[in-house]
Amino acid sequence: MTTLSADLDQQAVNLIRGFAMDGPLAAKSGHQGTAMALAPLAHVLYSRVMKFDPADPQWADRDRMILSAGHASILQYSMLYLSGCGLELDDLRAFRQWDSATPGHPEAGHTAGVEVTTGPLGQGFANAVGMAIAERILADRFGAGTIDHRTYVIAGDGCLMEGVSHEAASLAGHLKLGKLTAVYDDNHITIDGATELTYDDDVPARFRSYGWHVLDLGEIANDLDALEAAFHHAEQVTDRPSLLVLRSHIGFPSPDHTDDHEAHGLAFAADDVTRTKAVMGIPDEPFWAPAEIVDAYRSHARQRGSASRSAWTARNTDVVDSDVWSACWNSTGIEGWADGLPSYEPGEMVATRNAINAAFNATVESIPGLVAGSADLTGNTGTKLAGQTAQSATDPGGRQVYYGVREHGMGAAMVGMALHGGVLPVGGTFFVFVDYMRPPVRLAALSNAKVCFVFTHDSVGVGEDGPTHQPVEQLATIRAIPNLHVIRPADANETVAAWKDAVDHDGPTALVLSRQNIEVVTDGTAVAHGAGVVRGGGTPDIVLVATGSEVSLCVKASERLAAEGVSARVVSMPSWDRFDQQTTEFRRQVFPIGVPVLSVEAAVTLGWHKYADDAIGIDRFGASAPGGVVMAELGIDVDHVVERATALIAH
């Protein structure tokens, strides 16, 4: 394997530091200090340590590198440019500009070579844990000759202060993820000032208590050989994840802003850049990048990468042509995977959390990438896979992940698993606790990660647990997240259809399911279009539209209205976002022009004005009592629906 000369090593580090200053200066926005300090680390990772091929940034067996400290994005962009992964100098010049390939924080799917979308601190660290889990499962399934790579993550003080890092690090230590290496950039700086203002954690002791191997590197941030040796040392520790604690100096080698907390943001003026480049001995020229240095760097990266990938391709031709490989990496099932899905007869009483469990178990063998788990609520949320074992170091292929009471860490790990590829992660918790995992749900939507979030105990029907556990506003809040496919099925048949829809959907899906039994009143077909008629053809006097358990309630109300001579159509609307994608003609077939519409949902009424003329909902917190009592007391019952429908018709 060729190596770069010592002279080219230093020139490359200087280029990276120059880009780290020039990009933010040109954009008048950005974070140069961390990128400058970590230039040697990034150079070592990309040129000496990581296994990747610039010609194929999506190669399945590449090492993954996550910049959890995503504000230092110019560092990653500089490496992708130098390595020849698709970025060019004009992309660096367009840093943080409209429609550029170099946005303010790294975005998966937007820039080749960026694995996950980072920026909210700590998320990338937890994503890396998920990636390491995915690698382990796939290595067990396909063998070490096919899947054998590492996950690297660079995190700073902010990442490790955020609670999600505690959850994820604890999980990683418990699972003994030996192919995960995290670098802690211990620069003693936050935006407000020195970390001593707020932070006295003994980070090495903390991570040792989690079960990590910890290597305190000290002052080697500019020693390329020592950095390389540290990474190789971590590679030899296979029975636990490794944390490399690196004491760096933000803004180095600036004569003005080294170890200055202002270097965290846009501290460098043009004069500061000039003085720093003089210290480095490089021309005071924006985006200085001599062709001979860039060409040599790219040639080196291509040679290293192509050799590894070519050898891998030669021994894995049959594997990658298999149906199982294809199903895993497309996060779907093998042909005919949905044929065994269950169906339910009208009148059966089934909680939708139980129906989803039946759907999972009917497809667990035909969706080879399916990996399910929960935040200590596996049985409660229907995410227990029949016949599957717990993911662990002793059972690396286990497809049942026990996340513990760690919703935040679970959500972020699932996003990492999905973006790693090869698995379809499903994770469950009570719907009210979406508040504990909203950041990863949002980032799943932003990065189009194919994740299935299962949220059960979906309404005040939870009952005696009271308002702390009764979601009322959560449904409106997740519907507000762009690119998140939300389904609240009416019954067991719609739940089964929702699982098929989630597998077919290219992106994240949230399934919102009931604790209580619900009468089967649909055939499930409404899910495909977001809404559909359950009862009442022709031209009705009124349309009753509902989701979840309230659909069967509306069916009962329609029967009462029919006895009073009123023709009421019942519409199940499990997915607003899917319905909004339909043609105008279809939407008018469901909601005829001129016919009043009354919505019924055991949640806040926010948003229903788009579809309904009047809305029955719960614009307050719930109460502790049996679920049926709470529903009735808050107006989610047949009498109230009939009363409001009659009034709306008369209006």
Nearest to 284 by CA among 275, 297, 296: 275
Which residues does the annotation mark as catalytic?
A: 407
CB atoms within 10 A of CB 361: 18
Classify residue 203 by burial, with Cβ atoms within 10 Å: 0-12, 13-18, 19+.
Answer: middle
Distance of alpha carbon 432 from alpha carbon 407, whole angstroms = 11
**Torsion angles phi and psi, residue 460, rounded to 5:** -65, -10
Tokens representing 351 are 């909680």
CA distance 641 to 632: 11
Contacts 24+ apart (CB under 8 A), 213-217: 213/237, 213/240, 213/241, 213/242, 213/243, 214/242, 214/243, 214/245, 215/242, 215/243, 215/244, 215/245, 216/245, 217/244, 217/245, 217/246, 217/247
Per DSSP, 72 falls in state G
The one-character DSSP state at 122 is: T
DSSP letters along 254-293, please? -TTTTT-GGGGSS---HHHHHHHHHHHT--S-TT---HHH
Work out whether strand 517-519 and strand 349-351 pair parallel, antiparallel, or are unpaired.
antiparallel
Give the per-residue SS3 of 385-442: CCCCCECCCCCCCCCEEECCCCHHHHHHHHHHHHHHCCCEEEEEEEHHHHHHCHHHHH
